[in-house]
Amino acid sequence: MTRVRRERRLPPLRRIRHMEETRSARHALSYVFCRTLLVSLALLPRRWGQAIGRGCGLLFYGISPRHRRIALANLELAFGLDTTPRERARLARASFAHAGMIMADAAYFPRTARLPMERLAVYEGTEHLREAAARGRGVLVFSGHFGHWELVALLQARLGVPFTMVVRPLENGRLNDFLTRLRGVTGNEVIAKYDAARGVLRALRRGRAVALLVDQNVRGDGGLFVDFFGVKASTTPALATFALKCGAPMVPVFSYPRSDGRLLIRYGPPLETARRGSIAEDILVITQQCTALLEEEIRRHPEFWLWMHNRWRTRPPASPGRAPGRDEPARGAVARSLP
């Protein structure tokens, strides 16, 4: 009864999306539409396709009031009185356009994978990645939905340190398989985030780099609440947990589109993960440290982050120091997983 009432409150298009009876047809249509769109874009020069993607992102900003409200509310929460409503709207539109460009650029991944590296990207700090990989424990490369995270992953295998990517699979199985093949054209592996622990541990033991994005809201009891733009945000403890369990170095990577069409990809020095207190406390400290590093980059270039994501959706209890009922189960779980 509760589910029926909830669906009745949804707008008509979202109500259709939640109907089980239309799932197969919707998935088939979505797959055909996305596959046709990407194949069509691939026939155009890459810059034209990226421009079309930006236009689609701006169109989505105009026709999706829900995502527009989320983006504007997030920007107000993050920057408050430091920005005007007009400035926040400008940043939101730029963020939507940037996200559209990234989606459209997937059409060019098979072609991009064969182009000379100097035509695609300018690198800084690759010595940090190679030094971390040389330790023989694998590398945890972390970032957020910032810059062109998909192209960073696509190209890293060509640096000699291939990725095992932890991603959230799409409900549409055929579309998910198609995107997985695109992501793997340079030799990267893709594993689903659900029950990914064994796959991550195997990859690290083989000396591979594991890619983790640490900026998405974690629902339920799985997240730790850390400060993000001065507001508690439910954040995955996976990065810190794997680092402490395996001794794998954590290397941050961020990217920035350049005016010449190439991507600036910057790897930072490895973060230290020495234990200083209890396991639960160390996980919380490391998670906060990595989140703060991501926040610094977003503050420098807010137009390159995915503001439409409902980052602060999961809320902690009022207690400032702890989040009983939410982060305590997560802390206990990760503590039990460590030696």
Phi, psi at 320, each rounded to 5°: -75, -25
CA angle 203/208/212 to nearest 5° reads 75
Q: What pLDDT is stored for residue 22 in this prediction?
A: 75
pLDDT 10s digits, 182-199: 888 988 999 988 778 899
Contacts of 270 (CB under 8 A, 6+ apart): 128, 131, 132, 249, 250, 251
- Write down the domain spans for the chain: 118-337
Q: What pLDDT is stored for residue 321 in this prediction?
A: 39
Task: For residues 295 and 310, give the distance between their C-alpha atoms in angstroms, rounded to a whole number.
Answer: 16
Alpha-carbon separation of residue 203 from 151, 190, 195, 295 (angstroms)? 21, 11, 14, 28
pLDDT-derived band at 201, boundaries 50, 70, 90: very high
179 or 299, which is more confident: 299
Per the structure block, which two tokens stand in for 7? 């669906």
Per the structure block, which two tokens stand in for 118? 């100097």
Among 12-16, 79-83, 149-153, 304-308, the least confident range = 12-16
325 or 186, which is more confident: 186
Q: What pLDDT is stored for residue 110 in this prediction?
A: 94
Q: For the whole model, what pTM was predicted?
A: 0.86
pLDDT of 67 higher than 80: yes
Sign of the dihedral defined by the CA atoms of residues 182, 145, 257, 98, in that order: positive
Top mean-pLDDT range of 31-35, 169-173, 297-301: 297-301
Phi, psi at 67, each rounded to 5°: -70, -35
pLDDT of 326 higher than 80: no
E-assigned strand segments in the chain = 121-124, 139-143, 163-167, 189-192, 209-213, 224-228, 231-235, 250-257, 263-267
Q: What is the mean pLDDT of residues 153-176?
A: 89
Nearest to 247, CA basis, from 101, 136, 159:
136
To which residue do tokens 């991009």 refer?
Answer: 112
pLDDT 10s digits, 107-146: 999 999 999 999 999 999 999 999 999 999 999 999 999 9
pLDDT 10s digits, 225-266: 999 999 999 999 999 999 999 999 999 999 999 999 999 999
pLDDT 10s digits, 21-49: 677 888 899 889 889 999 999 999 999 99
